[in-house]
Amino acid sequence: MIEVQKNTTNSDNSNTEEKELLLKVKDLKTYFYTEEGVVKAVDGVSFTINKNEILGLVGETGCGKSVTALSLLRLVRSPGKIISGQIEFEGINLIDLPENQMLHYRGNTITMIFQDPMNSLNPVMKVGDQLAEVYLLHQKEYLKEELAKARQENSILKEKLKQMKSDLKNASEEGAETLKVQINALKRKVKGRITLKDIAYRESSQLLDRIGLPNADSLINRYPHELSGGMRQRIMIAMGLACNSKLLICDEPTTALDVTIQAQILDMIRELKNRLHNSVLFITHSLGVIFELCDRVAVMYSGNIVEYGTVEDIFENPQHPYTKGLLAAIPKVTPESRKNKLAIIKGMVPNLIYPPSGCRFHPRCPHAMKVCQEIRPDLIPLNNAVQVACHLYDKDKSDPDLYRPLTNEERLEATI
Amino acid sequence: MSLIKYTIRRIIALIPILLGVMFLTFWLAQLMPSDPWTLMAGEHMTDARKIYIEDQKQKWGYYDPILTQFLIYMKNLFSGDWGNTIAVLPKDTPVWDIISVKFPKTFEITILSVSIATVVGIFAGIFSAVHRNQWSDTIIRFFALVGVAIPVFWLGMILQFIFAVKLGWLDATGYQGIQYITYKPDITGLRLLDSFIKGDFDVFKDTVLHLIMPVFALSFISVAGITRQTRSSMLEVLELDYIRTARAKGCSEHQVIYKHAWRNAQITTITIVTLSFAGLLGGAVLTETTFALNGMGMMTIDAINKQDYFLINASVFLMTIIFVLANLITDILYGVVDPRIRY
């Protein structure tokens, strides 16, 4: 495993020399201790994210994508638990941090947006309150400075107003008219008492403006139920980018939205990434989205990463049978395809309490061999940019007993 | 702004309900097998009594159709004349005079026990939800279950046995010590409040000592319901997506619970609190009987037993208003807590 990791860094360096490492996840294991048994939702996942890149995490429903994401923020709830592994963010292992230090990362440097925008905002709090909360949690110092500035400006305005009022008493008739107009204009600018919350609200409104949402001022005074799904997801993204987010984790952010809104949200994420130079971990089950958005991609199957590399390599030349199956399953719109059935990967996502032995994909794999049943394949680098966990690419295939295709009986047994 | 509009809409919607319920109860009272006018005569009918009864019949529209009678009754009700008692002692006194003494007593006990129960119940519920399945949760749930299961009069009697009979710290029954029997709370009618305002701290202390046991018994029972409700709705809310969002934002566990989850969980608790408040205002008959507190509950039972027409009508009317108001308050609080309900 250590050797593999070395190779990973090597290949990364050779490929993209100027890129700096932001996050390194190594052998992450997150298990759920349920009454039926231990669900090994994430079972030894390793990947890295560089600065200013988008890593896609793709896989079927229930393969452990979301749990991986939640593990990064240490938000896995009981009965789930991170068993082992390292999550190194800018050189600091998040696994060992005490909870109160972890709070500084959540919502500040590592942020997350969720699948279902309809339920991800608190229904009884105004949008502005929810945005302002992020500032109040993570940028209190900055807000206090701003508050002091704003109060000073306000008191200067107040003084001016007072001065004008006293002038009004002595002014001549024509002068009084113009003064009155000036005083009224000034009165609108002067505020009674400015609080920290006002400043946080102002920041939120500016943030929505920056992110390109129209009518930010009215938006922050609304409740989530008054907004559309797309709008709520944009608010969520805004919330993720409110502070100095270095890693934005998007957990299927477009799944609950209709197609046109999906495209807009994806554009927004990409555009903001280019502007803010943050990194994104983009989780989805849609390969199309990955191809459009990501730099590199990790394909997950049943709690493991089975293939890992740049988007171009994996799409042009997929190596793992599962990735091949996934790519084949993308519907193609051609006149012939209308007559044919859609391609599928046979079988079901395996039970994570009693996962198949060896390679977890072998019961569904068209190339399954005896060795697949016995030994779990490690993620090994195939060429510079792609790593794959599959025995098909083993260097030493000398043992004829291990490297023979499964018989029909063995296959049947594996499926059961 | 929209909250005010919502409130006004709710109030307007209440008027037909109030009128409907009141007409129904008025009509049902007419169907009682006993005749108030005969009861009014008493055992020895004198000429003066005959004139009085005839007078009353004229006044309440005895010879008119029922709708007219209802209108007459309503008119008198709103002008402050709730009729005179017929069989309940003291006879021939205005019903209003009796209720204006009894109602504050009940109100005082109710508001005390419900506020204590609400505060304790909500915090116990939240605590127990947060510490789900730990030993503290188990203890709270045990007490909540006990509170639901045991009857209030039994709890009252046990309290009396321990604190009045065995320890002798408190008086077992009554609203005041014998030496303060003539004390009249004449500002608000609430003994605690009045004696406090006037600075009669002896009376204040005496009243506190007399109210401890009934208030404890009543609130213990209400706490149980509120705790259980709060716990279950908290558990539900804590699993929701926006709570995960709050955690991902970097909220501490305390902020997650009291800023994000609590308000959402209160919506179901509000109903329990307001309705138990209304129910207790109508009179906690068992508690009043156990502690010989002569409040609304005992008065109503007495009126029903003696078929005192005007007193029954008055207490039903009062109860209707209380429940309708409680529903109104519930609706308004819903609106305050949950903006989605306002529209």
Distance from B248 to chain A by nearest Cα, in Å? 5
Residue B141 contacts A, CB cutoff 8 Å: no
SS3 category, A21: strand
Predicted confidence at residue A55, as pLDDT, reads: 93
Q: Where residue A4 falls among pLDDT bands split at 50, 70, 90?
A: very low
Average of per-residue pLDDT across A156-165: 84
B260 contacts A122? CB cut-off 8 A:
yes
Predicted confidence at residue B343, as pLDDT, reads: 62
pLDDT at residue A395 is higher than 90: no
Continuous segment of H or E residues that includes residue A150:
helix A140-170
SS3 category, A133: helix
- Location of structure tokens 């890593």: A55
Per-residue pLDDT tens over the stretch A360-378: 888 888 888 888 888 888 8
CB of B293 within 8 A of CB of B287?
Answer: yes
B248 contacts A107? CB cut-off 8 A:
yes
Residues shown for chain A: 416
Distance from A111 to chain B by nearest Cα, in Å? 7
Residue of A nearest to B133 (CA): A78
Peptide bond into B214 cis (omega under 30): no
Sign of the torsion formed by the C-alpha atoms of B256, B258, B259 and B263: positive
Q: Which of chain A's residues have a Cβ under 8 Å away from the Cβ of B263? A: 124
Q: Where residue B124 falls among pLDDT bands split at 50, 70, 90?
A: very high
What proportions of chain B, in percent to the nearest 5, are helix, strand and coil? 75, 0, 25
CA neighbours within 13 Å on the CB side: how many for B208? 9
Among the listed ranges A171-175, A188-192, B59-63, which one has the minimum average pLDDT value?
A171-175
d(Cα B297, Cα B316) in Å, to the nearest integer? Answer: 11
Domain ranges of chain A: 2-123+240-316, 125-222
d(Cα B54, Cα B70) in Å, to the nearest integer? Answer: 18
Facing residue for B339 by CB, picked from A120, A138, A223 = A223
Continuous segment of H or E residues that includes residue A110:
strand A110-113
Residue B248 contacts A, CB cutoff 8 Å: yes
Rounded to two decimals, the pTM is 0.79
Among the listed ranges A118-122, A246-250, A350-354, B153-157, which one has the minimum average pLDDT value?
A350-354
Predicted confidence at residue A408, as pLDDT, reads: 75
Domains of chain B: 2-78 (no CATH), 102-342 (1.10.3720.10)
- Mean pLDDT value across chain B: 84
Q: Which of chain B's residues have a Cβ under 8 Å away from the Cβ of A121? A: 242, 245
Q: Kindly state the DSSP code that residue A381 receives in the 8-state scheme.
A: E
Q: Under 8 Å CB-to-CB from B316, ≥6 apart: which residues?
A: B25, B29
Q: Indicate the class that CATH gives domain A2-123+240-316.
A: alpha beta
A123 contacts B339? CB cut-off 8 A:
yes
d(Cα A203, Cα A303) in Å, to the nearest integer? Answer: 40
Residue B258 contacts A, CB cutoff 8 Å: no
pLDDT at residue A11 is higher than 50: no
Tell me the CA end-to-end span of chain A in Å, nearest whole number: 30
Q: Which of chain A's residues have a Cβ under 8 Å away from the Cβ of B245? A: 114, 120-122, 236, 239
pLDDT at residue A238 is higher than 60: yes
d(Cα B39, Cα A95) in Å, to the nearest integer? Answer: 83
Q: Which of chain B's residues have a Cβ under 8 Å away from the Cβ of A232? A: none
The rounded percent of chain B whose pLDDT value lies above 70 is 98
Per-residue pLDDT tens over the stretch A193-231: 888 888 888 888 888 888 778 888 888 888 998 988 888
A119 contacts B252? CB cut-off 8 A:
no
Per-residue pLDDT tens over the stretch B256-266: 998 889 888 88
d(Cα B236, Cα B254) in Å, to the nearest integer? Answer: 17
Phi, psi of A32 (to 5 degrees): -115, 125
- Report the candidate in A329, A328, A289, A279 with the shortest Cα–Cα distance to residue A311: A289
Average of per-residue pLDDT across A97-117: 88
CA angle A369, A371, A375 (to 5 degrees): 140
A121 contacts B242? CB cut-off 8 A:
yes
Characterize the bridge pairing of strands A21-33 and A38-50: antiparallel
Q: Which of chain B's residues have a Cβ under 8 Å away from the Cβ of A239? A: 245, 249
A137 contacts B250? CB cut-off 8 A:
yes
Per-residue pLDDT tens over the stretch A278-287: 899 999 888 8
Residues shown for chain B: 343
Residue of A nearest to B237 (CA): A122
Per-residue pLDDT tens over the stretch B14-53: 888 888 888 888 888 888 777 777 777 777 777 777 888 8
Higher per-residue confidence, B174 vs A153: A153
Per-residue pLDDT tens over the stretch A273-328: 888 888 999 998 888 888 888 999 999 988 889 998 898 888 888 888 888 888 88
Q: Where residue A10 falls among pLDDT bands split at 50, 70, 90?
A: very low
- Mean pLDDT value across chain A: 83
Residue of B nearest to A106 (CA): B250
Per-residue pLDDT tens over the stretch A17-75: 457 889 999 999 999 998 888 888 898 899 999 998 999 999 888 888 889 999 999 98
Predicted confidence at residue A30, as pLDDT, reads: 92
The rounded percent of chain B whose pLDDT value lies above 90 is 10
Average of per-residue pLDDT across B103-108: 85
Continuous segment of H or E residues that includes residue A40:
strand A38-50
Distance from B270 to chain A by nearest Cα, in Å? 15
Residue of B nearest to A70 (CA): B248
Residue type for A308, please? Y
Per-residue pLDDT tens over the stretch B295-341: 888 888 888 888 888 888 888 888 888 888 888 888 888 888 888 87
Q: Kindly state the DSSP code that residue B339 receives in the 8-state scheme.
A: G
Residue of A nearest to B338 (CA): A124
The rounded percent of chain A whose pLDDT value lies above 70 is 94
What tokens appear for B309 in the block? 């027409």
Facing residue for A107 by CB, picked from B242, B250, B264 = B250
